[in-house]
Amino acid sequence: MVKILHLVAQRLALGLLVLFAVSLIIFLGVSLLPGDLCQEIQGQAATPETVAVCRDELGLNLPAHTRYLHWLAGMVQGDFGTSLANKRPISELIGVRLGNTFFLAGVTAIIAVPLALILGILAALYRNSLYDRLINASTLISISFPEFFIAYILILFFSVKLHWFPSLSNVSPDTAFGDRLYHVLLPALTLTLVVLAHMMRMTRAAIINLLASPYIEMAKLKGMTRSHIILHHALPNAWAPIANVVVINLAYLIVGVVVVEVVFVYPGLGQLIVDSVQKRDIPVVQACSMIFAATYVLLNMAADIISIVTNPRLLHAR
Amino acid sequence: MARTTDDIASRQRPSKARQFWIALKKAPFTAKMGMGIVLLYVFVALFAPVLTPYGESEVVGSEFEPWGAKFLLGTDNLGRDMLTRLLFGARNTVGIAFVTTCLAFLIGGVSGILAAIYSGWMDQVFSRIVDILMAIPALIFSLLLLTIFGTSIPILIVIIAVLDSTRVFRLTRAVSLNVVVMDYVEAARLRGEKIPWITFREVLPNILSPLVAEFGLRFCFVFLTIASLSFLGLGIQPPTADWGSMVRDNATLITYEDITPLLPAAAIAILTVGVNFIVDWFLQKTSGLRDGQ
């Protein structure tokens, strides 16, 4: 037990270190800007006076480490600074959108994870059957198709031809839960198709890997049924790799979300970052990148920790 | 006499070109299809100006004209011929992705081999940099960098290549580590060969097959990333014909049950499927790996 705690603490420390490095890169990346940030923002209209005022407002006259600490301290307290485009506090822009994005990712996870596990286990059970080959083919398709292609195909069929779902997912903060779910279903379905195949295939691989071990052979020789072996003997040992795959795919989700949100005009963080990149609203892009990157790092850290905690060899250490 | 031994020798071991041809003929149907697709795309990319009826960004009709004799696939949101832009897209989208992948392999491959050869602090420095770069999701990182540097094609190529070279670095370093401990590398070192010789003559030929397979996969990834960025309006900029931005510009047509905007997206998907088919075949041939188990 002590060993596990030690390992987990180690991962947590490493995760924090990575987060720190990431924040440093995101913040200092901006100083790579050729020329001056204020000059860039104002473009043709820049005069020495307006640039000076702007530099003063953004605190660019302070040394870089002071600005970084200020930025970091503000962010930890939920204050991300102000947007360059509309002078509103960024936390105000992000607040609702962050919730929307997590809602979309959450709905996707609720659909995709159980489905992937069941289909993956079935593929392992009926290895090399037609069903298994179908799964392999679908993996190829899902890694080859751009997200927006899948999204528009779904829109074409489910909203234009069948009129089942709206093609725009414009929810507002006061949309009721059921309505919100209905609006978010098509984007969630797109994301499910994007991550499903990989999860399914890794589940299959994890179980097939285990099926080659001697204790499974033993169970077979004792005359147990295939499904009993898979569910009671293989699966408990497969949780660690499967949990790992699930979490890694959830981490992938937060990136896939960007394109899908734009297609469905869903008011989430992904759309905000794309809009802000177009406007070159650097503080907003920094804040959004930091949130995305932090979620990604934390999920990857969670994957590590889960695989440590669910490892039976570590749980029952002699 | 001399001639017969030559004949025997040639019967025992066919020439390289012939071996290649035999392997090609024995390739499964999917691999052949993949090669056909890639060849077709290369052909279209090379001869786009000859194949197309109109200029790349020439406005030739009114907006959103339907499919017909004059415009086979109709016109786009600005009245440019859809077919022409689709064919030119092969040149721009695929070409840019190809250049980016090459650059990524140049950066990642060379640094990976060097990290393996030198090991020690150089390996540490490269590996830690890569760890940190990979901790940020690539799409988000490229969005941040595009905000800082602005969107133009050379910048796009460099950003995506650098972010993607991290994965090339990891693979190259891992496979090179197995090679640099071999006796022939040691022998080359003792012989006094310089680092470039060891890199390109001793290590590189022996790690080539995993790198070639990885090149295919990386190309798909880069291709999809650039298409996504262009779709978001942050990649290849107008008036250059590009599949990602073509989908974005004409997406409204979908609500009228018109599948034209799906064609560029399908063009992207088909090429990626084709490349994946080839990579699968290549992996099976070179490593005996079947089905990724």
In tens, the pLDDT along A204-234 reads 888 888 888 888 888 889 988 888 887 888 8
- Pick the most confident of A85-94, A198-207, B153-162: B153-162
Distance from CA of B64 to the nearest CA of A (A): 18
Q: pLDDT averaged over chain A?
A: 82
| Residue B59 DSSP SS3 | strand
Q: What is the mean pLDDT of residues A111-135?
A: 85
Structural domain span for residue B149: 52-287
pLDDT at A299 over 90: no
**For the segment A280-295, what is each residue's pLDDT rounded down to a tens digit?**
888 888 889 888 888 8
B144 interaction partners in chain A (CB closer than 8 Å): 26, 29, 285-286, 289
Domain holding B165: CATH number?
1.10.3720.10
**For the segment A94-121, what is each residue's pLDDT rounded down to a tens digit?**
888 888 888 898 899 899 989 988 888 8
Going by C-alpha positions, the residue among A207, A166, A209 that lies closest to residue A185 is A166
Say which of A18, A140, A146 has its CB closest to residue B265.
Answer: A146
Q: Is residue B1 situated within a structural domain? A: no
Do B136 and A262 count as a contact with CB atoms less than 8 A apart?
no
Q: Is residue B26 situated within a structural domain? A: no
Number of domains in chain B: 1
Angle between helices B138-149 and A235-263 (to 10 degrees): 30
For the entire predicted model, the pTM comes to: 0.84
In this prediction, residue B292 carries a pLDDT of 40
Q: Is residue B27 situated within a structural domain? A: no
Q: Is residue B241 situated within a structural domain? A: yes
- Give the whole-angstrom CA distance, residue A239 versus residue B282: 32
Q: Is residue B215 situated within a structural domain? A: yes
Going by C-alpha positions, the residue among B226, B225, B260, B257 that lies closest to residue B246 is B260
Q: Is residue B200 situated within a structural domain? A: yes
Q: Is residue B21 situated within a structural domain? A: no
- pLDDT of chain B along its 293 residues, tens only? 445 555 555 556 667 778 778 877 888 888 888 999 999 999 988 888 877 777 777 777 777 777 777 777 777 777 788 888 888 888 888 999 999 999 999 999 999 999 998 888 888 899 888 988 888 888 888 888 888 887 888 999 999 999 999 999 999 999 998 888 889 998 998 998 888 888 888 888 888 888 988 899 899 999 999 999 999 888 888 788 889 888 888 888 888 778 888 889 999 999 999 998 888 888 877 765 444 43
Do B227 and A146 count as a contact with CB atoms less than 8 A apart?
yes
- Give the whole-angstrom CA distance, residue A310 versus residue A312: 6
In this prediction, residue A315 carries a pLDDT of 64
**For the segment A235-270, what is each residue's pLDDT rounded down to a tens digit?**
778 777 778 888 878 877 877 888 899 988 888 888
**Angle A291-A293-A6 (CA atoms, 0-180°, nearest 5)?**
110
Q: Is residue B40 situated within a structural domain? A: no
Do A22 and B135 count as a contact with CB atoms less than 8 A apart?
yes
- Give the whole-angstrom CA distance, residue A262 versus residue A271: 6
In this prediction, residue B162 carries a pLDDT of 93
**SS3 track for chain A:** CHHHHHHHHHHHHHHHHHHHHHHHHHHHHHHHCCCCHHHHHHHHHCCHHHHHHHHHHHCCCCCHHHHHHHHHHHHHCCCCCECCCCCCEHHHHHHHHHHHHHHHHHHHHHHHHHHHHHHHHHHHHCCCCHHHHHHHHHHHHHHHCCHHHHHHHHHHHHHHHCCCCCCCCCCCCCCCHHHHHHHHHHHHHHHHHHHHHHHHHHHHHHHHHHHCCHHHHHHHHCCCCHHHHHHHHHHHHHHHHHHHHHHHHHHHHHHHHHHHHHHCCCCCHHHHHHHHHHHCCHHHHHHHHHHHHHHHHHHHHHHHHHHHHCCHHHHCCC
Do A141 and B273 count as a contact with CB atoms less than 8 A apart?
yes
Do A273 and B150 count as a contact with CB atoms less than 8 A apart?
no
Distance from CA of A160 to the nearest CA of B (A): 6
B53 upstream amide cis, omega within 30 of 0: no
- Give the whole-angstrom CA distance, residue A94 versus residue A285: 11
Q: What is the mean pLDDT of residues A297-315?
A: 79
